Structure 1
Amino acid sequence: MATQTTQLRIVSGNGIVTRDVLNTPLRDAEPSELPIIDVSGIFSATQADRQAVADQIRAAATSTGFFYIANHGIRAPVTDAACSASLDFFRQPAELKERANTRHSRANQFKVGWKPPQSQHINPFESVDRRESFSWVYHAAHDPSVGMDSVADIPPKVAAFLHADADGFPWTAAPPQLGAALIPCWQAVLGLGRALVRSMALALDLDEHAFDAKFTHPDAAMAVNYYRPLQPPTAEDVPDVSIGSHTDFQLFTILWQDAAGGLQVLSREGQWLRAAPVPGTFVVNFGDYMQRITNDRFLSTVHRVQNRSGRERLSMAFFFGFNLDESCAVLDTCVAPGEEKRYDEVGCYEWMQRRLRAMQVDLGAGKVAAA
């Protein structure tokens, strides 16, 4: 007898997308489904070492679009300090966190700062997200490759898309110890992200520096998510989600997660898989823009979070994309002989706005609302 499926709906930059999901129990991912890749070779002076990592990334990118990275060069004290400071922040009374409540960043209209519990709804076809978060976007003054002294020299076409609120929000509205721990963590992951982009260029049969000019001032946002445990659903309830089913927006995401677990990945076969925490690793997954410019070679995979651990959970998600003033068409190396490019070229800023607008869905009409 054939295994039955249910239909999952998510929003995307191309409208509402459906996925068939197997009605089989959630299970742990096999190592072949979510591999652990030793990425120490991306820092090697030897081309063969760097190519070996790229080959493993290509294999993961074209199978599930998710993988773990080990030996990534970010020391545990950096992430431990960021985790500890974040927990201190989230455990405060709401009236203290309210000082850092969200506002739109001036440059790209992405909401930064503290988002209260149940104020986010990433998938309008599922429950509201049972989380709170603290987020921010790229600021050149915090980028070690730019530095405060060089901010004034940023080309105007790039600077027009950079976050530069005069009052330094959200850091000036949050406890000083939060920024003191989170900004160094962001800086460390930013450096790792730049190294991974070069490895991904090799994985796409390009020169490893092919994208360098496109991420001088990247769309490098970070969100710290805090989850209280979900309550067991009753038979009448729509099951709660900590974060609803979705795909990410830009090139890729680097995720640190604590030991509580809860991240779930939808396989190509429609099976929900647990992406269990692996000490000392980050999880990497590709976003919609990467899938688009690779002509669907690199997969942007649906995922969600359900914190049923019975305790609080913390994750730190780093979202990496090209400069917002940049644009990228489907790469020629991703188009086989006789194959057509499936997507038109679209600017990074335009794509981000399209994705943000797509989350505004008219549920009655079942369409993405114009905004």
Structure 2
Amino acid sequence: MSTTQDLEQTTTLRLASGNGPITRSILPHPSRDALPCELPIISLAPLFSSSLADRLELAQQIRQAATTNGFFYITSHGIPPFVTQEAEEAAFKFFRSPTEEKEKASMHKSLYKYGWKPPRTQRLNPFESVDHRESFSWRYDPRYDPSVDDVTKIPEEVRVMIKHDPDDYPWSAVSPDFKGAIIRYFQAVLALGRVLLRAFALSLGLEETAFDEKSRWPDLGMAVNYYPPLSMEEKEQEKGEETKVSIGSHTDFQLFTILGQDQVGGLQVLSRSGQWLNAKPIPGTFVVNFGDYMQRITNDKYVSTVHRVQNYSGKERLSMAFFFGFNLNETCEVLDSCVEEGEEPKYEAISCWEWTQRRVKMMHDVKGNGSY
């Protein structure tokens, strides 16, 4: 499927969103490395300053990135390198282990599909190839949140929405070394996410603590992804419109994502003009991007950007994606600070629970329907 635009032949990328099927026009150029102005590097050092002026200045840098391509790198984030390194080493050891070992933590043994997902069992975009990856994923469990002193004191309306398997599955099915390293990483990124959320509040013209209570028991997800290399021969032999992907083109569900990636590379970000940009690994950084719910409550001011992974490096690749959302019982509408004079809110209020259910349903509906 193609159209003519600015005398260049474009292709149409199709994907699901929480507001129904969407399309993006893709320029007929190979992916290129992103420029610093397209995926900026932002130091978070001012976030830890006692000066509000410093924190506000940083918030403006974030706002600039949020309203352009919606992706940026962060440095000076406060997470010690050894925490990330130990998690990566433990993850590689897990994914390289025999299948029968990984199957002990299979998602098929989980009530909520948490745990290990084997190769070629996921397809994030139904109009591209199956995802060439395997993963280990789970969602928020307050027992692993250091800020929660007593799980029984979580309000019932919140607790009923927090789902986890009995007997601590899938953690009970993996080695203590893997669990320990990954949980330490998760807790470090959770703390960073809460700091970032304050910066995002400032960037939106709100009080710094505006989102604190809304994210006290947040809707979180984390996926550790393992990508074997795609073959260059496969790339040359692509048939029809099916693009070979390590993970298919998509946008993220919630407020924002913090991504740790190794030095292999493969993450690609779709620019506003329709060009695939390589988000090359930068040592010591994380990649941050905004999700659909953030775009919604900012009245489309902050961009939830399409991205994918193609690992043609010839090497195995690892990434650790941390997805941050509000408490599932929270209901949010378009922020007043994001509605300019003469504008109207584009979206009605919706709870985080309703939003995630709608987003999943839309994705499944698209998968069940071969066209728009």
Q: CA deviation at 1:366?
A: 2.3
**2:35 matched residue in structure 1:** 30
**1:114 matched residue in structure 2:** 116
**1:296 matched residue in structure 2:** 300
Among 352, 360, 363, the alignment partner of 2:356 is 352
Q: Does structure 2 retain, via aligned residues, the 8 Å contact 1:105–1:163?
A: no
User: Which runs of structure 2 are paired with 1:1-371 in the superposition (5 Å)?
Assistant: 2-103=7-108, 109=112, 111-147=113-149, 150-232=150-232, 233-237=235-239, 238-360=242-364, 361-362=366-367, 364=369, 366=371
User: Match of 1:216, as an amino acid?
Assistant: R
Q: CA deviation at 1:235?
A: 3.5
User: Match of 1:199, as an amino acid?
Assistant: A
Query: How far apart, in 2, do the equivalents of 1:275 and 1:180 lie?
Result: 29
Instruction: Please list the CA deviations of residues 4-62 of structure 1 after superposition, one character each: whole Å capped at 9, or x if unmatched.
Output: 21110011112210001101121110000000000111121110111111110000000
Any unmatched runs of 5+ in structure 2?
1-5
Query: How far apart, in 2, do the equivalents of 1:221 and 1:181 lie?
Result: 17
Q: CA deviation at 1:105?
A: 6.5
Query: How far apart, in 2, do the equivalents of 1:236 and 1:302 lie?
Result: 21
Change in CA separation of 1:236 and 1:224 when aligned onto 2, cut-off 3 Å: closer
User: Match of 1:45, as an amino acid?
Assistant: S
Change in CA separation of 1:253 and 1:199 when aligned onto 2, cut-off 3 Å: same
The number of residues matched between the two structures is: 362
Q: CA deviation at 1:131?
A: 0.3
Q: Does structure 1 retain, via aligned residues, the 8 Å contact 2:126–2:367?
A: no
**Identity, % of aligned pairs?**
59
Q: Which moved more, 1:67-76 or 1:46-55?
A: 46-55
Q: Does structure 1 retain, via aligned residues, the 8 Å contact 2:139–2:164?
A: no
Query: How far apart, in 2, do the equivalents of 1:244 and 1:126 lie?
Result: 6
Any unmatched runs of 5+ in structure 1?
none
Instruction: Please list the CA deviations of residues 83-107 of structure 1 after superposition, one character each: whole Å capped at 9, or x if unmatched.
Output: 000000000111110110115876x
Query: How far apart, in 1, do the equivalents of 2:61 and 2:340 lie?
Result: 21
Instruction: Please list the CA deviations of residues 317-349 of structure 1 after superposition, one character each: whole Å capped at 9, or x if unmatched.
Output: 000000111110000000001101001111101
Q: Does structure 1 retain, via aligned residues, the 8 Å contact 2:12–2:26?
A: yes
Change in CA separation of 1:315 and 1:250 when aligned onto 2, cut-off 3 Å: same
Q: CA deviation at 1:234?
A: 3.4
Q: Does structure 1 retain, via aligned residues, the 8 Å contact 2:238–2:244?
A: no
Q: Does structure 2 retain, via aligned residues, the 8 Å contact 1:229–1:313?
A: yes
